[in-house]
């Protein structure tokens, strides 16, 4: 009995060590808990209800890589009800991130993420839930929740996240917004081309007026004795010469 009690205290100390500020200390505790097998998982689940938020957050983070279906209920409770936003955020990530685990969890992840995305008060926790839905299979509940966020949400970042996630969850929405983006791109290209043509015509007209004025000034300065009519003829000749050599 004494040996079991000592082992429990040792494992609990390792779970508390997951909140250490030094990554080497955390890695040491994580390695020892993994080697402890199911007893290590059990003590981490115990740590999810620890009085210190740092320990709860560390234990939730441990389950990101080592969680099993047996851990889903505890992670769900932490994601929805833990008083610390940082713990809720890590619990949401650990429940929804499947690529880091030995085997994907089979609980109702979409249901959890939808509930957090709609009811959570902390923006960062909601962001994690919305992005988590992006990596889940297409689900009508996710589509409805994301559409609701786009209709009613005032936070620009959450609306942006919901938009990108809905493109993954709803192929029809993705096709529609992609088509709109292409139309805007084509209209923008046409507008730029029109502006360029207008600019070139304006530059040509201004340049022609400057050239005409310069040639007229040259005629008056070089041939002041000519009559006004003769000066006009001379200016015209200079303009024709200018056009001939500028095109050659």
**Tens-place pLDDT, residues 94-128:** 999 888 888 888 889 999 999 999 999 999 999 99
- Other CB atoms within 10 A of residue 216 CB: 17
Q: What is the pLDDT of residues 170-217, one digit of tens each?
A: 999 999 988 888 888 887 787 777 767 776 666 565 555 545 555 555
Q: What is the pLDDT of residues 66-79, one digit of tens each?
A: 999 999 999 999 99
**pLDDT score for 248:** 52
Structural contact between residues 56 and 84, judged by C-beta atoms closer than 8 angstroms? yes
Band (16; pLDDT cuts 50, 70, 90): very high
Q: What is the mean pLDDT of residues 57-85?
A: 95
Give me 1's structure tokens. Answer: 């009995």
Q: What is the pLDDT of residues 28-55, one digit of tens each?
A: 999 999 999 999 999 999 999 999 999 9
Q: What is the mean pLDDT of residues 131-148?
A: 95
**pLDDT score for 157:** 95
Q: What is the pTM of this model?
A: 0.72
Distance CA 33, CA 149 (A): 40
Mean pLDDT rounded to a whole number for the chain: 84
**pLDDT score for 192:** 78
The H helix count followed by the E strand count for the chain is: 12, 0
Structural contact between residues 78 and 56, judged by C-beta atoms closer than 8 angstroms? yes
pLDDT higher than threshold 50 for residue 147: yes
């Amino acid at each position: 009995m004494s040996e079991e009690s000592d082992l429990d205290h040792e494992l609990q100390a390792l779970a508390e060590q997951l909140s250490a500020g030094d990554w080497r200390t955390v890695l040491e505790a994580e390695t020892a808990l993994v080697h402890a097998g199911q007893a290590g998982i059990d003590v981490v689940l115990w740590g999810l209800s620890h009085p210190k938020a740092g320990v709860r957050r560390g234990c939730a983070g441990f389950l990101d890589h080592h969680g099993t279906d047996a851990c889903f209920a505890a992670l769900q409770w932490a994601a929805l009800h833990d008083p610390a936003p940082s713990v809720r955020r890590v619990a949401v990530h650990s429940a929804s991130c499947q690529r880091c685990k030995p085997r994907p969890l089979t609980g109702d992840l979409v249901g959890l993420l939808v509930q957090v995305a709609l009811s959570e008060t902390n923006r960062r926790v909601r962001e994690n839930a919305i992005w988590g839905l992006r990596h889940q299979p297409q689900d009508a509940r996710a589509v409805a929740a994301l559409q609701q966020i786009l209709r009613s949400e005032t936070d620009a970042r959450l609306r942006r996240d919901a938009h990108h996630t809905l493109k993954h969850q709803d192929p029809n929405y993705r096709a529609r917004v992609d088509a709109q983006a292409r139309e805007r791109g084509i209209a923008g290209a046409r507008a730029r081309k029109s502006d360029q043509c207008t600019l070139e015509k304006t530059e040509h007209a201004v340049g022609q007026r400057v050239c005409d004025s310069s040639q007229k000034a040259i005629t008056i300065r070089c041939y002041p004795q000519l009559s006004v009519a003769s000066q006009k003829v001379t200016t015209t000749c200079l303009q024709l010469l200018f056009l001939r050599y500028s095109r050659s």
